[in-house]
């Protein structure tokens, strides 16, 4: 369990596990190829988390050696700043997630600049355009570490190719805010790991279900084909399916 999948050798991108299942997070924290963790209020609600701070503190007890992102959920900029300060105080490895805009679509520039100047490590999230990346970069302190999360998977859901966008975002950050790491968020398939690497992203988030597919990286396709055939046969026979085949007539 402690070994990295062999197909990941040579990749420089960091993999962050995305989820809100504490038991799974503890297990993933034992894997050397998991470089960090992210979660959000939606994932936490789906996981049945009732007490936000209690859950966060339990996570930080279990994971103290890698970054963990927790998101503010206030919608007023002043309240966002206050929540960000509180969340940052929970642990030295905490990254504070700030949405790129309020629910009214107002850019959270003042929130980003205030917290970034104070040395809070931000993870600016829900970004989907190069212009948003540019706006965020302008507000980040050049001396502060940060993560810029572009939801490439959701961009792809609109029928657009996210790779050119991510390449341009990576170029922009490298030129203006080299301490800010570009993150490929919401991947839809394992191939996105390699898309993110070639686009110049520093980090990719992957759900627990997607992480389970890492063992397939570099797998022999003939062997994979045979496994698939055997899976179909096993499931059909295991379900007791039957097809009435007419008796053959004598020749």
* Catalytic residue set: 97
The token pair at 58 is: 């339990």
3-state secondary structure the chain: CCCCCHHHCCCCCEEEEECCCHHHHHHHCCCCCEEEEECCHHHHHHCCCCCHHHHHHHHHHHCCCCCEEEECCCCCHHHHHHHHHHHHCCCCCEEEEEECECCCCCECHHHHHHHHHCCCCEEEEEECCHHHHHHHHHHCCCCCCEEEEECHHHHHHCCCCHHHHHHHHHHHHHHHCCCEEEEECCCCCCHHHHHHHHHCCCEEEEEHHHHHHHHHCCCCHHHHHHHHHHHHHHHHHHCCCCCCCCCCCCC
Residues in the chain: 251
Tokens of 167: 């390449």
């Amino acid at each position: 369990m402690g070994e990295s999948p062999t197909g990941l050798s040579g990749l420089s991108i960091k993999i962050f596990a995305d989820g809100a299942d504490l038991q799974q997070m503890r297990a993933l924290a034992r894997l050397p190829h998991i470089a960090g963790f992210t979660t959000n209020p939606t994932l936490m609600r789906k996981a049945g988390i009732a007490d936000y701070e209690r859950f966060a503190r339990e996570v930080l007890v279990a994971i103290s050696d890698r970054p963990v992102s927790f998101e503010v959920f206030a919608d007023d900029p002043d309240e966002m700043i206050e929540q960000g300060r509180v969340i940052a105080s929970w642990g030295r490895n905490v990254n504070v997630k700030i949405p790129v805009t309020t629910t009214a679509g107002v850019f959270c520039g003042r929130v980003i600049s205030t917290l970034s100047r104070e040395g809070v490590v931000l993870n600016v999230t829900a970004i989907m355009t190069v212009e948003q990346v540019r706006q965020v970069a302008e507000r980040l302190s050049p001396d502060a570490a940060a993560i810029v999360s572009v939801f490439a998977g959701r961009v792809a859901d609109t029928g657009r190719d996210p790779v050119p966008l991510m390449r341009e975002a990576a170029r922009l950050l490298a030129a203006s805010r080299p301490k800010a790491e570009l993150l490929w968020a919401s991947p839809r398939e394992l191939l996105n790991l390699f898309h993110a690497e070639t686009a110049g992203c520093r980090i990719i988030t992957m759900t627990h279900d997607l992480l389970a597919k890492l063992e397939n990286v570099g797998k022999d396709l003939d062997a994979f084909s045979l496994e698939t055939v055997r899976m179909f046969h096993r499931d059909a026979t295991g379900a007791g399916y039957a097809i009435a085949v007419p008796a053959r007539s004598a020749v």
